[in-house]
């Protein structure tokens, strides 16, 4: 049996931009991806704290240290610049592995800087 466990989380990220005319995804700065072990093209669930909407997409690598988080394509309809979102990735593992698993969580400020690693 496999269970799905939270692996990575960017908490309270602020949307910097949206680009509707783009094939879907979310662009995340490389340093934030590394902080929570997100991989390029990894599937993520994005939850908008402002309007309650959620959507699934994949991660594109953004410029290291620029703090810009952009929703692209259909995901651009999920939020507008300034909205706060939560970006989550999950891993499938056995119940035994799940008991040992601890997600990597980065809590961000409004400039998308890490203020706490959990």
Residues annotated as catalytic are 25, 58
Taking the C-alpha atoms of residue 69 and residue 92, their distance in angstroms, rounded to an integer, is 26
CA distance 31 to 11: 15
**What would you measure as the largest C-alpha separation in the chain, in angstroms?**
44
Q: Residue 24: which residues within 8 A CB-CB, separation 6 or more?
A: 57, 58, 72, 73, 74, 75
**Contact in structure between 112 and 19 (CB atoms under 8 Å):** no
Give the β-pairing of 25-29 and 54-62: parallel
């Amino acid at each position: 049996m496999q269970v799905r466990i939270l692996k990575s989380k960017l908490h309270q990220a602020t949307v910097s931009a949206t680009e509707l005319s783009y094939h879907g995804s979310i662009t995340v700065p490389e340093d934030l991806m590394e902080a929570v072990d997100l991989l390029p093209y990894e599937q993520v669930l994005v939850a908008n704290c402002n309007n309650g909407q959620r959507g699934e997409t994949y991660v594109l690598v953004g410029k290291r240290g620029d703090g810009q988080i952009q929703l692209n394509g259909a995901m651009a309809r999920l939020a507008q610049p300034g909205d706060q979102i939560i970006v989550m990735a999950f891993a499938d593992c056995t119940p035994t592995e799940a008991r040992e698993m601890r997600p990597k969580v980065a809590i961000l400020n409004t400039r998308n800087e890490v203020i706490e690693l959990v």
